[in-house]
């Protein structure tokens, strides 16, 4: 008699695959997510829109927490921008970065260093932005929370 096979999902491989060809910015800007997106859209000519289908849901302390994700597909490229809200009702998507309000993930196409510097400079020009920093994969302990 054959025993049923057990399939095990390899979260590390899935997470590593998700983060190939990505760059991530952490942003401290104590304002509503829709306000911050409006500023980005207005200043940088992007078109961030909320995408409820990829909203991140985490269960902690017998409660569900929902972290909004805004998305922008850059025309004529494979580059997609994702803006995560790092806070919801006192909980954090990435608890190791409690001081950050937003996480901006660039995925799908390479971003050159000079272009990234220009983006960071533009974000810093938004009134209310206190900090913009690039995060490395090694700094992020809870990468799986960003995978949708």
Beta bridge partners of 137: none
Backbone angles phi, psi at 51, to 5 degrees: -125, 95
Structural domain count of the chain: 1
Q: Provide the percentage of residues in the chain whose pLDDT is more than 70.
A: 86
**Full residue range of the structural domain in which residue 114 is found:** 23-146
Q: Is residue 6 part of a domain?
A: no
> Each residue of 111-122: pLDDT tens digit?
999 999 999 999
Model's pTM, two decimal places?
0.85
Q: Is residue 91 part of a domain?
A: yes
> Each residue of 26-48: pLDDT tens digit?
999 999 999 999 999 999 999 99
Q: Is residue 5 part of a domain?
A: no
Q: How far apart are CA 47 and CA 81, in angstroms?
A: 10
Q: How many Cα atoms occupy the beta-carbon half-sphere of 14 within 13 Å?
A: 9
- CATH code of the domain in which 42 resides: 3.30.310
Burial class of residue 63 (count of CB atoms within 10 Å of its CB; 0-12, 13-18, 19+) = exposed
Mean pLDDT of the chain: 88
């Amino acid at each position: 008699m054959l025993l049923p096979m057990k399939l095990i999902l390899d979260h590390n491989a899935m997470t590593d695959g998700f983060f190939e060809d990505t760059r991530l910015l952490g942003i401290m800007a104590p304002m509503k997510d829709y306000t911050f997106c409006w500023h980005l859209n207005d200043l940088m000519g992007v078109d961030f829109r909320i995408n409820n289908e990829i909203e991140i849901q985490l269960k902690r302390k017998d409660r569900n927490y929902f972290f909004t994700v805004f998305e922008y597909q850059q025309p004529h490229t494979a580059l997609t921008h994702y803006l995560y809200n790092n806070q919801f009702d006192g909980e954090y998507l990435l608890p190791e970065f409690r001081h950050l309000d937003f996480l901006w993930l660039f995925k799908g196409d390479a971003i050159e260093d000079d272009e990234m510097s220009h983006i960071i400079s533009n974000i810093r020009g938004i009134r209310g932005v206190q900090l913009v920093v690039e995060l490395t994969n090694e700094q992020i302990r809870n990468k799986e929370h960003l995978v949708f």
